[in-house]
Chains A and B, each alone.
Chain A
Amino acid sequence: MAEFLQFAFSGLTVGAIYALVALGFALIYNASHVINFAQGEFVTIGGMATVALMTGGGLPLLLAIPAAVMITALVGLALEKFAVEPAIGRPGGASVVTIIIITIGASIFIRGVVQVTLGKDFHRLPAFSGEAPIDILGARLQPQSLWVLGVTLLVVAALWWFFGRTRFGKAMLATSHNRLAAQLVGIDTRLVLLASFGLSAALGGLAGILTAPITLTKYDIGIMLGLKGFAAAILGGLGSGPGAIVGGIALGLAEALAAGYISSAYKDAVAFIIILVVLFVRPSGLLGGRSTERV
């Protein structure tokens, strides 16, 4: 029991991080049908910028975190404004595949810039509130895990409110359901795309900051986290918000249990086996593609 709980805690924690990354994929996918392969780099920037602001800038953790989230969001906005929008805006417009390739290029570029400016070493953030583990039924829970889960819950609640209650949130939702109709009712779909990149980047950055005290951070940490987040998004159903959360948690738990009961050598393989199985058996994912259209 204690052993299972231990695996479950670690699975939930890591799953919450995957869920945040997967939500980022969903946001941009909904606005443009593009898979943003720079999503993992947003995770890198969040963690690395916090480290740089604390060690280089001398900021306390409490200030460094919001500043780093902001920096990541700005990078996301810049990526859309200077790389994606010019491609879409040119006569004829770029195809989805072209934009995906642009995001791959951007991810390599961002990784390079982080490596050159902040180095290739591992960095560590202090846990937000001490490192003394809490004992629950014989399993040990790190306080940082509570931060990860708590902040993820808050983010989910905030997103739920934003998409369910606010005018612009509904406009973003409408654009994801029907871009043409959204334009025809006067929604500025370019602004929606810009906002989705900013929001995705902020979510990725936040994930990178939350996980840095547990997994450490490095210029290329985003590659694996990005792929795992992508696997979570596919598992839950690409473009579905609830799907991203369910997919993230499920993937995190599957990984932790596989690592615990089988072998930690197979931990990373779990995500990729899940992608393959989902694509073969149920390509729309757990919660995706349930449409209610009638013709």
Chain B
Amino acid sequence: MTMLLSISGLTSHYGRIQALAGIDLTVAEGELLALVGANGAGKTTLLRTISGVQPATGGSVRYADRDITRSAPSDRVRLGIAQVPEGRQVFGPLAVEDNLMLGGYTRPKAERAAEMEKVYALFPVLAQRRREPAGTLSGGQQQMLAIGRALMAKPRLLLLDEPSMGLAPLLVEEIFRAIVALKKAGTTIFLVEQNARAALAIADRGYVLETGRIVLHDTGAALLENDKVREAYLGV
């Protein structure tokens, strides 16, 4: 299998505090990878470092056979890395449609209309509320909008940071169904979750992150059966 993303020895700091202590991780083209871990383990920092909005202090990030460790965030989006950030981060006062248009900021104008129809097909509720300010949507709808906005960039690698956070179980199911559908359509997905059970259940492979280090790595199914994982993250 060819590796779309390979990270080696990656470190990142907030001031003097080390958030990532040498991460080694790969994502193969077309797979759904889950990263689980407790609060403060460094999951969000890792995704932000991959997107380039948090600087790496050491190690390297390679994507599609090129070194992007020092690339600008906008260049990484152009290369096909899109992120759905933690907490959704929609442009609240702007209309749903404007949020999606901005998601396609790096794409030619002609492509954007077609991509937007695809997003509306995936999340029809967004089409109904296209003219309303994003800030007036419910939490679940905002999450759909955040995913839709990332899809507008036509990503080859989609980074999802805690898409189930703060959502009712039914909505979590809907979001996860959409993620599986995206994977089937060929998008490579890197899913970061505190909801380890749901994430590992749909993942091909999974990593467990603790205090800035990868401590376990296996297939999703095997991790679900792993005693350490069951005890620490599944509450069994």
Contact = CB atoms under 8 A, between A and B. Distances in A.
B94 A174 contact: yes
Interface stretch (A106-114, A165-173, A262-270): A165-173
Interface string B126-147: 0000000101111100100000
A186 B149 CA distance: 11
Contact of A294 (B72, B74, B136): B136
Given A292-B135, A295-B139, A185 B93 contact: no
B120 interface: no
B210 interface: no
Contact of A187 (B74, B94, B138): B74
Contacts of A177: 91-94
B15 interface: yes
A95 to B, nearest CB: 12
Interface residues of B, number: 38
Contacts of A293: 92, 135
A291 interface: yes
Interface in B104-133: 105-106, 109, 133
Contacts of A295: 139, 166
Contacts of A292: 92-93, 133, 135-136
B61 interface: no
Given A178-B89, A180-B85, A181-B89, 20 more contacts: A173-B94, A174-B94, A177-B93, A178-B90, A181-B91, A183-B52, A183-B53, A184-B53, A184-B73, A185-B105, A186-B73, A186-B74, A186-B106, A187-B102, A188-B72, A188-B74, A291-B93, A292-B92, A294-B135, A295-B166
21 contacts: A91-B55, A92-B15, A167-B105, A170-B94, A170-B98, A170-B102, A171-B105, A174-B94, A177-B91, A177-B93, A183-B51, A184-B53, A184-B150, A185-B82, A185-B105, A185-B106, A186-B73, A186-B74, A293-B135, A294-B135, A294-B142
A-B pairs, top 5 by smallest CB distance, nearest first, are A186-B77, A292-B135, A186-B106, A181-B89, A183-B73
